[in-house]
């Protein structure tokens, strides 16, 4: 392996996402859906956003079943990794986007999902630099065949049996609870607007 190129710093990724969350607090608290809480649009977006969050969480579990405990030790090319190179970050972005949808705002969905994507893709870039150095031929062939983030469903392949590491599943469970907390959080934010009577900026 290349002794110069190091794996991506996952702790840095976590702290960047936490910092991003803090930066987004004023945007979330001081804006409200221009459609109104009682509108048909709001009634559609809130449950749809919750489903998007759940889909993102389930997708993260799926990706972790394959990559958990193997990250940086091999070029995973099965399951979700057979369709795109960074499914874990794809599903994390999907879950983050779901929060904006639950708040009844397309603008918030784009901003929250977009900024999450930017942070995660910086980590993905570092991961790819390491994997290209550690497994030059294998990763080059993989990257040429499989798209970066937008999945190609026609490429799907998986072995009949997949082993997973219990310790990694515990960590993923904790991460999942953070994403699932978006659902009551969206409800709480709506309640804050009503109770405190803030003159929030209406956005679509």
Q: Which helix (H) or strand (E) holds 172?
A: helix 166-180
Indicate whether 101 belongs to any domain.
yes
Average pLDDT, the chain: 84
Q: What is the C-alpha to C-alpha distance for residues 121 and 144, in angstroms, rounded to an integer?
A: 18
The pLDDT value recorded for residue 7 is: 65
Provide the residue count of the chain: 204
Decide if 124 contacts 148 (C-beta within 8 A): yes
Determine the 3-state secondary structure of 153 from DSSP: helix
In sequence order, what are the residues at sequence separation of 6 or more whose Cβ sits closer than 8 angstroms to the Cβ of residue 103?
28, 33, 49, 109, 186, 189, 190
Indicate whether 170 belongs to any domain.
yes
Indicate whether 33 belongs to any domain.
no
Indicate whether 90 belongs to any domain.
yes
Residue 177 burial by Cβ neighbours in a 10 Å radius (0-12, 13-18, 19+): exposed
Indicate whether 40 belongs to any domain.
no
The residues facing 33 across adjacent strands are 203
pLDDT tens profile 87-102: 999 999 999 999 889 8
In sequence order, what are the residues at sequence separation of 6 or more whose Cβ sits closer than 8 angstroms to the Cβ of residue 203?
31, 32, 33, 34, 105, 107, 108
Of the pLDDT bands very low, low, confident and very high (cuts 50, 70, 90), residue 185 is confident
Decide if 81 contacts 87 (C-beta within 8 A): yes
pLDDT tens profile 126-137: 999 999 999 999
Per the structure, how many domains does the chain have? 1
Indicate whether 167 belongs to any domain.
yes
Placement of tokens 């705002």 in the chain? 105
Indicate whether 61 belongs to any domain.
yes
Give the predicted TM-score (pTM) of the model.
Answer: 0.84
Tokens of 200: 């929030």
Of the pLDDT bands very low, low, confident and very high (cuts 50, 70, 90), residue 2 is very low
The domain of 172 spans 57-178
The pLDDT value recorded for residue 71 is: 82
């Amino acid at each position: 392996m290349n002794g110069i190129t190091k794996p991506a710093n996952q702790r840095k990724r976590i702290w960047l996402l936490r910092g991003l969350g803090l930066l987004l607090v004023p945007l979330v608290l001081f804006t409200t859906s221009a459609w109104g809480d009682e509108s048909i649009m709001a009634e559609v977006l809130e449950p749809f956003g919750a489903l998007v969050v759940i889909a993102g969480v389930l997708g993260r579990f799926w990706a972790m079943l394959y990559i958990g405990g193997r990250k940086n030790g091999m070029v995973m090319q099965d399951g979700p990794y057979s369709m795109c190179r960074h499914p874990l970050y794809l599903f994390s972005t999907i879950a983050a986007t779901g929060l904006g949808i639950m708040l009844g705002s397309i603008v918030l969905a784009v901003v929250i999902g977009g900024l999450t994507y930017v942070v995660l893709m910086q980590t993905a870039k570092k991961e790819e630099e390491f994997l290209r150095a550690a497994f030059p031929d294998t990763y080059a062939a993989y990257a040429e065949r499989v798209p970066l983030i937008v999945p190609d469903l026609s490429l799907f392949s998986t072995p009949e049996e997949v082993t997973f590491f219990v310790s990694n599943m515990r960590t993923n469970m904790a991460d999942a609870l953070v994403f699932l907390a978006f659902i009551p959080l969206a409800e709480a934010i709506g309640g804050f607007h009503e109770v405190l009577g803030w003159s929030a900026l209406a956005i679509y």
